Amino acid sequence: MTNKDEDQDWLDALAGKPNAEGDPEVTRRAKALQQAIQRHEAIYHSSEDDMEAGLQKLKFRLRSEGLSSTDRRPGLNKRFVQFAVAASVVLTVGLMMRVYLHQEPMQIETEIMRGMGERQLVLAADPEQRLKQLTTELDQLGIKYRVDRKEGKIVLNIQGVDPAKDAVASFLERNHIKPPVGMSLELDIRPMAKP
């Protein structure tokens, strides 16, 4: 038998007209492929009703085999969701309080004023005395500064701050001033709130 005869037997078997004198293996394979194509077409073109019926049969079989249970407690999921929401709220509030309570007061104030560049808040019982103390130290270090007074507020503009120098780093640490990113910063000196 030549390849041409074998191909023709294959095509005839696929068309549903197998050659009785042809190779039985070719006929068997062609019939298997034809059946697979028909099954695929039947599934692909089946209606939703057929699918729903098949799904119901599958569910019934699963229940009869004990692989699926229908004795769910309807309130269980609702209680679980309520518990999960309550736990999430408690956890969130707890974390927020922990973060807030463990920050230093200066850190909190600095973060509030984050969008103001290198401006930092300095709280003092007597703002004028604190200004005098800071300017005296800046004069000793040879750092240039300018004092601006606006609407009862005192702003100390400091230029040429190099935190890499030991004396400047010591000044910043001693006065609880965060080292600037650049070479300048502004200190907003305000009175402490009275309790």
Domain residue ranges of the chain, discontinuous segments joined by +: 3-64, 72-102, 105-191
pLDDT in tens, 43-66: 666 666 677 787 888 888 877 877
What are the tens digits of pLDDT across the range 8-24? Answer: 887 887 787 777 787 88
pLDDT value of residue 132? 92
Burial of 4 (0-12, 13-18, 19+ CB in 10 A): exposed
SS3 144: strand
The model's pTM is: 0.40
Distance of CA 95 to the CA centre of its chain: 17
